[in-house]
Structure 1
């Protein structure tokens, strides 16, 4: 008879069998859990985290914002032992359990870097710097982009940008959520996110004007879709989403001709381009604050009566559309001495037509009574209140020196004395250098700030060379988002850390103005004085900026609650 299972145990004593079974069932050494694949920490949106930097100290994203305001932080990740395929996701923030309310979305970006061959003046530094922000989903076309997963080598710091934009009607109070990190699909960490919404709103359209040049013709061409109207709108919207008014755009004047005898301008194409910016429909509720007169060279150089008729037609059209309060004659930028007479002629004709005149220069006798708003470079203004009619400042290459810094010698020493410490928008400067610009303008009593360009380096490839006028990022606040590189089907503008900081500074000015209007002018003034005591004495420490802003907002919330 064949043997069945276990027949080999026949004849073995029962106790021996029992002991053998117990030995098999006895647990061996408990395997140790695999070490975490990565380390993580949290930093503010004012920090610039370079790939070799140590991890920052924070362990939770902790934000406070007004209704209608955007705030950001960063999650810094460094792999342990082996590279990781890093991905991140975040659900909308939920209100505290005690309250009801809508959830608030969280946007995530991969912080990319650019390699800088040379520093920006005496304050800059060559090497690899963070700046482009590759979105998980772009904010205009809403397409998924190639932000995550990203391969992160061992020992390299990779930052993730976390942005929360609070709806204007969000309920005040606390909200919470998490940013979930994963490695190759395996959960790696959950980073807590806390948000407190103040019980007041900042205006959707800013009261501190910020016209920034943006050529949609250059931008669409660089993105491979020349004059594509939807991509042009995406470029303009990227500015407006950050409280910046784009000017220049296509630079095309209205169709048709206008002479003293017969004025027949067709505004159809112009209005289709500029109207959504000025009406606040391109980015709902955000109305552009600045529009420049566009006149062809042949008209400037033609009969003066025809030029006068053209200027009157601009004023008439802008009045009919409700835009007249934002129309400016902005011509002959940074005029040379030999151009001042021509600028005066154009200004005289514009003012006769009822158009205000904007000039990027210091006041001078030849322009007395002709210029409504001067916008000199910010270095040219003394500390304290600005002189009459100086209504804007102009951040320029003078913030770092517009020529290359020699390695040594008298010129090196002179440039260091002249250009050290100014605020500005260079990539290789502290985040506070960009945030200080608008605060300095507020302290000086200005109405706004001007910036000459957002796409300067798009004449080449800013991903490989973002340098202009001896400064890294001078005139470039966006990067070209090409589908071949970043996924999706449509090209799009990639925002930068510096553009986010510009927006934060403009939001800060709204907070300062709300506090002043609520009777907290003294606190607003002392807060600004502590952070920007002078043009070159601005605070460098991000933590002090954020703490001061939080104290001011909390004081305003208490003041409004007591009314």
Structure 2
């Protein structure tokens, strides 16, 4: 009997498989016939993870069933909700959603920290939502008295930017989430989802513990609560973590209109609110021949009151003596330690470094020995004789670890511009963290971790808002028509298309998701600083100290080096939570 079954089994299995295939094919055809045209247009496509539309559709239908079970009689069949942390860029296509289906979100934060999450609204197949709103509410402490007011929650509408085909690898070309617009009603149709970004600013004096509350989502009259749980840690972050993230900025709106003084200050304030230093503030509009010290002081003081850590002043290459009145003034104000001057040749070749940058540096040190010179350059043997702060791309020369060991007497920063020149690469630039719209969010957040791992006390990004120049239309036209990225390649000696290079916020000003994620990375740096401070004072058990040392070394669950890191956001988020527990456990 066994042999007969064994003999006939292949044919039997083939018949069963064929029958199942026919049944599945019939079911598939029946399903396709029921789909709207917008869905039918996707039937042969893959999502950004490589999942075919058939499986995307299956997941979506399963999620709808889960949604109805979760909310029971309160559920609407017209839409469902999803939530996600702030470390994932959520595509516009609702079938590509990879977050958590449901109406619950849990986050944690230190006191005086901002933590983010996202709320996605996913219409049912074939449904359109004409007016969707999200309103905040207070969070009540569960263990006793204490309220985080609704005003501590800021809600944004997430806008999408259509990318153009670049020469570097990306998950997809199309609408990427980036611009964050003021809260307001949204419309959702076709295969789109609607997306809200929520910032929770934990008050400095908030009592530690667990808080809960809800947001209210209203879609065409159907109201659904979004349940929020927040764990507030017992330690407090400073108003500004002492880790400069420097950017060059300008005072013009696209396509070249000069900002008003008020708009310029609002732009500067937005950078500083997100732990980014608009260092051009010390040279923007500054004329050494007609130096207006009162106006200079007013602008610098405005920024320093909001956490500015460094600023750049003109380098006056041809007549550096003209800097003397300004330098003397900075010395009298006690601001000279925050002032920088850029070298006379950006990203030099080795020959240019020797012929231009080295003599410039010697001249500046002779005239102004306490004024620091900074320079972006590949490694050269004499780099520490050309600048006080050497900014190196993590992919150039022999890489980040080599740079950290060969900085000489210079302070090392890593810089991110996506198209450095006069360099050679040790590894592909696109394998390291970058700041483009079509980079995954984990890349932006990892940059401060790379800095910590290599003990570099600052970082630089090109640029804050200088990439606006190529934008067509007026200051607000783009909000209706959509932000248009240039499809023109950068010209020789540069090259390529770089989606989002040169700006981290939008005219308005409005923040970007990239700016929010960078802020979170700076706060991670603050966690590491707090852990290090407590570790140095601690007399705890050996295992606890070993755990602290492992976290301070940056575990492989986050990154190994600048080109070998964990793209799963939960690796970083788990590590961050472990660091928070260590901070709370170690005695102050």
Q: Which TM-score band (shorter chain)? A: 0.7 to 0.9
Of 234, 256, 259, which aligns to 2:266?
A: 234
Matches within 5 A, 1:43-192: 43-52=84-93, 53-54=96-97, 56-57=99-100, 59=102, 60-80=104-124, 81-84=126-129, 85-96=131-142, 98-103=144-149, 105-119=152-166, 121-136=168-183, 148-184=184-220, 186-192=221-227
The answer to which structure has the higher helix fraction is 2
User: Computing the radius of gyration over CA atoms, which structure comes out larger, 1 or 2?
Assistant: 1
Aligned residue pair count: 473
| TM-score of the two chains, using structure 1 as the length reference | 0.78
The Cα shift of 1:466 comes to 5.7
Determine the structure 1 residue equivalent to 2:310.
290
Query: Are residues 1:460 and 2:500 paired?
Result: no
Give the secondary-structure state (helix, strand or coil) at the position aligned to 2:205: coil
Provide the C-alpha distance between the structure 1 equivalents of 2:163 and 2:295, rounded to a whole number of angstroms: 40
- Residue pair 1:329, 1:347 contacting (<8 A) in 2 also: no
* Residue 428 (structure 1) aligned to one of 426, 429, 438: 438
| 1:519-550 superposed Cα distances (whole Å, 9 cap, x missing partner) | 15413235444301111111111122212111
Which structure has the higher relative contact order (CA within 8 Å, separation 6+)?
Answer: 1
Secondary structure of 2:337 counterpart: helix
Following superposition of structure 1 onto structure 2, how do residues 332-411 of structure 1 map, counting pairs within 5 Å?
332-337=345-350, 339-340=352-353, 341-352=355-366, 353=368, 354-366=370-382, 368-380=384-396, 382-384=399-401, 385-388=404-407, 389-398=410-419
Tell me if structure 2 keeps the 8 A contact 1:45–1:73: yes
Give 1:194's aligned residue: 229
Q: Is the 8 A contact 1:432 1:542 kept in 2?
A: yes
Partners of 1:56 and 1:252 in 2: CA distance: 43
Deviations for 1:398-439, whole angstroms, at most 9, x for unmatched residues?
49x99xxxxxxxxxxx99973442111111121111111111
Q: How many angstroms does 1:387 deviate by?
A: 2.6
**Contact map agreement 2:449 2:554 (CA 8 A) in 1:** no
Q: Report the Cα offset of residue 248 of structure 1.
A: 1.7
Q: CA deviation at 1:102?
A: 4.9
Distance 1:295 1:369, change over 3 A: closer
Q: Is the 8 A contact 2:166 2:499 kept in 1?
A: yes
Which of 539, 543, 554 aligns to 2:570? It is 543
Native 8 Å contact 1:62 1:193 kept in 2: yes
Q: CA deviation at 1:44?
A: 0.9
Deviation at 1:316, TM superposition (A): 1.8
Which secondary structure does the structure 1 equivalent of 2:455 belong to? coil
TM-score (normalised: structure 2):
0.74
Q: Return the alpha-carbon distance in structure 2 between the equivalents of residues 518 and 178 of structure 1.
A: 35
What displacement does 1:94 show? Answer: 2.5
Matching residue of 2:318: 301
- Provide the C-alpha distance between the structure 1 equivalents of 2:439 and 2:144, rounded to a whole number of angstroms: 43
Instruction: Show the counterpart of 1:471.
Output: 498
Distance apart, 1:364 and its partner CA: 3.3
Gaps of 5+ in 2: 1-72, 472-477, 491-495, 536-544
Corresponding residue for residue 6 of structure 1: none
After the TM superposition, which parts of structure 1 deviate over 6 Å for at least 4 consecutive aligned residues?
414-417
In the alignment, the residues of structure 2 paired with residue 47 and residue 301 of structure 1 have an alpha-carbon distance, to the nearest angstrom, of 47
Give the match's secondary structure for 1:375. Answer: strand
Aligned to 2:395, the other structure's residue is in SS state: helix
Structure 1 partner of 2:31: none
